[in-house]
Amino acid sequence: MRTAKKLMLTPVLALTAFGLAAGPAAAASADSGGSEDGWTYQADLEEINDSGASGDIMITVKGDQAMITEHVEGLAENFQDGPYPHVQHIHVKADGSAECPTSSADENGDGIVNTPEGGAAYGDVSTTLTDSGDTSADAAVDVDHAGIKGGSATYKRTIDLDAKTKDAIKDGRATVVVHGLDPADQSKDVQDAKSPLDDSLPQAATAPALCGTLADSQMGQPPKGGPDTGGGSTASTDDTVMLAAGGGVLVAAGAAFAISRRKKPSTGAH
């Protein structure tokens, strides 16, 4: 009888131990196939040159792509009998932290900070946020494909990012600048001046109106250096362990029942 009990208990204990050990391994195997996480950056876009505008932008970088969502309002609405074409860019600095210029950057004293004067704060154009087509610095003054048209708008587009822009965003060296002021609100000197970026355009057309430095956002991504919380891998592991443990208990209970049946003498033998 004792030998029979031992023979029955040995596989039960082995199955229970296997079930408990397999739980975390199964969960780890399931998690190992996860895709690359995207990192999200955002900026509050604040007025420059007393534009009266405001906005915000969120950029999720995954691999070499950037998914962009932007909202703006209060910009100049009309230009030459049509919606004002507001060109916009991601400016990057070669080193140091990117920032938005203050009125003290107005070197020539004409009453506004033009794009080159703001360059010391936010750097050079690296990526152009157009509505379609080219997104390189070559499209910096492509008003036909300006990402924002009119005074209020929502911009959504997924674009490819070059290594220079991507590294600058990650390092805090990238700033989003939306350009275009209402010429009617500017001094006579500004109204008469040509854009330093393209002399076929008035200066007001390329002067900064909104600016915001991109920074890490905790939205849509796990905190750096810590495990994901909520219904992620931890929850999956715990559930698997509990199921495995529960299965082991059921197997053990079945074995105990079988042993107790063996203890009872057969009613047919006398």
pLDDT value for 6: 41
Residue 270 lies in a domain: no
Mean pLDDT by 10 residues, the chain (270 residues): 44 42 39 56 97 98 96 94 96 95 95 95 97 97 96 98 96 97 92 93 95 82 36 37 40 42 43
93 and 50 in a single domain? The answer is yes
202 and 117 in a single domain? The answer is yes
Buried b (16+ CB within 10 A) or exposed e, 36-49: eeebbbbbebebbb
What would the pLDDT profile of 78-101 be if each residue is shown by its tens digit? 988 899 999 999 999 999 999 999
204 and 86 in a single domain? The answer is yes
Query: What φ, ψ does residue 13 adopt, rounded to 5°?
Result: -65, -40
Output Rg (C-alpha) for the chain, integer angstroms.
32
134 and 79 in a single domain? The answer is yes
What would the pLDDT profile of 9-61 be if each residue is shown by its tens digit? 444 444 444 444 444 443 333 333 333 568 999 999 999 999 999 999 999 99
Number of domains in the chain: 2
Residue 269 lies in a domain: no
Which CATH number characterizes residue 152's domain?
A: 2.60.40
pTM, two decimals, is: 0.69
**8-state DSSP, 222:** P
Tell me what percent of the residues of the chain surpass a pLDDT of 90: 64
Segments forming the whole domain that contains residue 9: 2-33+227-263
121 and 238 in a single domain? The answer is no
